[in-house]
Structure 1
């Protein structure tokens, strides 16, 4: 596990949520009163629809909105188009050095970053389902997306009273809708997944052709992620659209292979369990540590040496005691070896202990198949169209967890999503939330370890366990020793991730990441 991670704030297009302590809720219906709570919720929603335009909403099929956005001390614009009747949507944002887009064509949900990273989910993930449910205002129109809906109590906060409606869209995660008890306008929402909450406040309502729309939204994620303030500048109703507006875009990779080549082989140095690639950044020579469990990061020192301008201020996860401040920069040109070149890559700028000061994530190779062979000391990049997987290799689905490549595996018979992490120089590290949920400290007889892991934000003293069975697809092995995190801050506190599988395991495999098909191929190596 490397000493830094970049936590780029996804510019939460259309994401909503709210937090509230248990003490502020007056009443919460029990399951015995579920039917009555459902009827109460329907009445509340009917009132809110009337307050926000009533029958005028029935005439609205398409909404196009343009907004000014401020997040992580970065400014930009966002535009989104929602087809309420056909259940389609598309959105894009350009904020600071980031260009992001997302969409749903009625079957597949996609999102892209900086035009060269595309992820497609068919069907959408649970969190994406709930996001779509919100986009389509399906709480007023159940045929757009079915859901279980109940009244969940009344809340008093800062002199105002709110009625809470608890919603679970079919296939989605839970959503709480907060309705002002006096005006009946939707005031706030809360979505929760893996204990992460996102709060969105809606206000500055204005009349647009008979319907009331919030012109100001403030999204407040839990933890250390940046808040996002959006202010509507233009609204267009029932604008003309075609299917093209919602189609999955064509990926434009920033990586250039030599003319006529379908693949290239990059030799690397393997030192202390880490992969290092020679890199030239704007004419100066460095070494990249290749980190499949992280993203692009430059140290503050290297950024200054290159004369790069940094912008924004956000919070990144550290390996030590918690979080660190980070900024962002754009590198115009990067060369790997003498064969590959990249243009316009976004990097987080963070303090680092690593002497080389540069980390490259798998995002560098977006749009290509990347095969890592520790025994041969090489990384092979292959054009997706020219890739033919080895029929003898093990094929496993990749799961996008916090924008990291994860596979389902188990240790000691306990399964979860594990990140394949070339930036972690040991066998395996189990994260604190997963370890506590399954009582693994006691189950595995974990004990105090001898070594300490140093991060720029502190020191971690993990616990150590021994001799547990490990399963990764059909691969079965015995782990002689591995670590269990105890700190709930920083990387060790990530929810939704069981742990990190490091180079101590990966060096015995040829690992081939096929990002376009969201699969990984594993084959035993000669290491």
Structure 2
């Protein structure tokens, strides 16, 4: 029922209102809810099998679900014309099979809380007389043009779920709860009698961010339900996770791929259906994505339609395309579904005569290979999970990783405060600090008074503030020169209230880093010689449009920065950087020239009227 992409937000509708009802009201409403659904008949059964169709992402396909009503174990599969995805929970925990065919656990502390809520709703656990759920009557409230009675239910191991009940029928109309960085909503309609139990034959799942961005939703149209005493073991089984779609040149298990940092983004070479190589960002928090421009140049037809959330308050439209072959070094991955997303010109343009960024690679790579980022040699090492087995383990400092969704998480400490941080090789900027965690740990004020800067991603731009941290510790590695950027609560995935922050290339590139998802670990390997952190910058933001590829338009200048002191203003046009024409410079190369450099690095900007601004970069982050 509740889909894997459903993450979190604060429960906006009514949870801050005072509770006006007494325990008798709670018991009465709960009894009415149970009677309306046929609780007595429900308790006679041990398992439920459902099948039908699912409408999601612009596709219609087969859908089936099996759930054990006693312990909440389940498996749910949805098959579209382009891909199959699945979710489930068993004695080992929650798992997710993504659209590229392989699976990984959802095993973080937050994932366990979300799973408890998912399981509770999926098996209609409000019908259980002996369930260890706490209930509380909430004031009636309006939503979607209707008036609803409301109960707050807190399942064992989960968090509060608001149940919105139809006062005419006393049946559950929809449920809402906080799930990572989104507000998850599950709506139930078209109730029918199934052996004495009222079950919904239409189930719609959706989610929004605090900034209003929508995540992909789905509607399951149930064609039949079956009651069983016990769910068949095969119906609840996890995917076997054997890698069957990878070929390696010469039957090797290891290959290398050229990589390099450009503007903080880690680019790797890959080919699509024999065309290329083309540069892709390799992102531990990402998925196989092609820009709309790249898909068009490759002649790929798109199918379906959906939306995706990410960094920033909003969301971005997307479609899907089938790629027959993805080539990386000596590896070939067959028959992958790619997202196709309309990233802006500044995201992929790299300057005249240079191949534009084609998109992003992510989870589908890390589920098929143990991956080493060797920054010393500027190469990526891929070691195949042959037959599902892991290659030999790397020797270094091992940090366990967990997942709430698709980004690896590690325990780390910032300013002496322990928290859970995303490890994001697609983060080409500063370490991100999330405001809810910073406030809970008493360190928000230092960053709130830091320097402002626009930042963002898929969900759009927002203003954050950055300052020097006291220090960051990863395992036993203590890093004393770190600048962190405080985001906003409405910044989508980069304002996640259940995590501390996000660690990107600023920190990761100080090590050689190995990811082994089968062993659930990240390994830090020393660089030789060590790489010093450098934060000197000019202090401005500029972008280039397709309509004016020969200039960068300045959109923001940091007060008191070298750029501001040299006279640069928002609205100015830059036509050359250090004597090189802007038309031949992509955004990554521009970033390399104006930030994360040694103190005193000279910078010369030529404006469209011929005026030349000379400056020397410096660290502008408050301490």
SS state at 2:471 partner: strand
For 2:69 and 2:104, the matched residues in 1 are separated by: 23
Structure 1 portions without partners, runs of 5+:
1-8, 30-35
Contact 1:98 1:346 in 2 (8 A): no
Cα RMSD of the aligned pairs, angstroms, is 3.4
User: Residue in 1 aligned with 2:586?
Assistant: none
For 1:162 and 1:132, the matched residues in 2 are separated by: 24
For 2:458 and 2:96, the matched residues in 1 are separated by: 32
Contact 1:401 1:496 in 2 (8 A): no
User: Residue in 2 aligned with 1:267?
Assistant: 258
Contact 1:90 1:104 in 2 (8 A): yes
Normalised to the residue count of structure 1, the TM-score between the two structures is 0.85
Count of aligned pairs: 509
Matched, 1:365 2:350: no
Contact 1:16 1:190 in 2 (8 A): no
Matched, 1:257 2:248: yes
Contact 2:249 2:330 in 1 (8 A): no
Contact 1:292 1:421 in 2 (8 A): yes
Question: If you compute each CA radius of gyration, which structure gives the higher value, 1 or 2?
Answer: 2
User: Residue in 1 aligned with 2:295?
Assistant: 303
User: Residue in 2 aligned with 1:281?
Assistant: 272
For 1:113 and 1:12, the matched residues in 2 are separated by: 9
Matched, 1:410 2:413: yes
User: Residue in 2 aligned with 1:134?
Assistant: 121
SS state at 1:375 partner: coil
For 2:251 and 2:381, the matched residues in 1 are separated by: 16
| Larger RCO (CA within 8 A; separation ≥ 6) | 1
Q: 1:308 to 1:395 in 2, by over 3 A?
A: same
User: Residue in 2 aligned with 1:207?
Assistant: 193
Matched, 1:78 2:66: no
Contact 1:115 1:251 in 2 (8 A): no
Cα deviation code 1:429-470 (max 9, x no counterpart): 324554566564532474336x76586876555433125211
User: Residue in 2 aligned with 1:248?
Assistant: 238
Deviation at 1:16, TM superposition (A): 12
Contact 2:446 2:467 in 1 (8 A): no
428-437 or 204-213, which moves further after superposition? Answer: 428-437
Deviation at 1:476, TM superposition (A): 0.7
SS state at 1:126 partner: helix
Deviation at 1:23, TM superposition (A): 9.5
Matched, 1:387 2:373: no
370-379 or 315-324, which moves further after superposition? Answer: 315-324
Deviation at 1:335, TM superposition (A): 0.7
For 1:501 and 1:71, the matched residues in 2 are separated by: 32
For 2:489 and 2:172, the matched residues in 1 are separated by: 38
Deviation at 1:125, TM superposition (A): 0.7
User: Residue in 1 aligned with 2:522?
Assistant: 520
160-169 or 183-192, which moves further after superposition? Answer: 160-169
User: Residue in 2 aligned with 1:442?
Assistant: 445
Equivalent of 1:46 in 31, 38, 58: 31
Cα deviation code 1:80-135 (max 9, x no counterpart): 01122464321101246342112223443222113633123569711101111222
For 2:75 and 2:445, the matched residues in 1 are separated by: 48
Q: 1:158 to 1:244 in 2, by over 3 A?
A: closer
Deviation at 1:18, TM superposition (A): 11
Deviation at 1:319, TM superposition (A): 5.1
Contact 2:471 2:482 in 1 (8 A): no
Q: 1:193 to 1:20 in 2, by over 3 A?
A: same
SS state at 1:146 partner: coil
Contact 1:203 1:215 in 2 (8 A): yes
SS state at 1:139 partner: helix
Contact 1:401 1:497 in 2 (8 A): no
User: Residue in 2 aligned with 1:5?
Assistant: none
Q: 1:251 to 1:41 in 2, by over 3 A?
A: same
Which residues of 2 match residues 464-479 of structure 1 at below 5 A?
A: 464-466=466-468, 468-479=470-481
Contact 1:25 1:154 in 2 (8 A): no
Contact 2:36 2:170 in 1 (8 A): yes
For 1:65 and 1:514, the matched residues in 2 are separated by: 36
User: Residue in 2 aligned with 1:32?
Assistant: none
Contact 2:412 2:418 in 1 (8 A): yes
Which residues of 2 match residues 468-507 of structure 1 at below 5 A?
A: 468-486=470-488, 488-489=490-491, 492-507=494-509
SS state at 2:43 partner: helix
Contact 1:430 1:484 in 2 (8 A): yes
For 1:396 and 1:94, the matched residues in 2 are separated by: 35
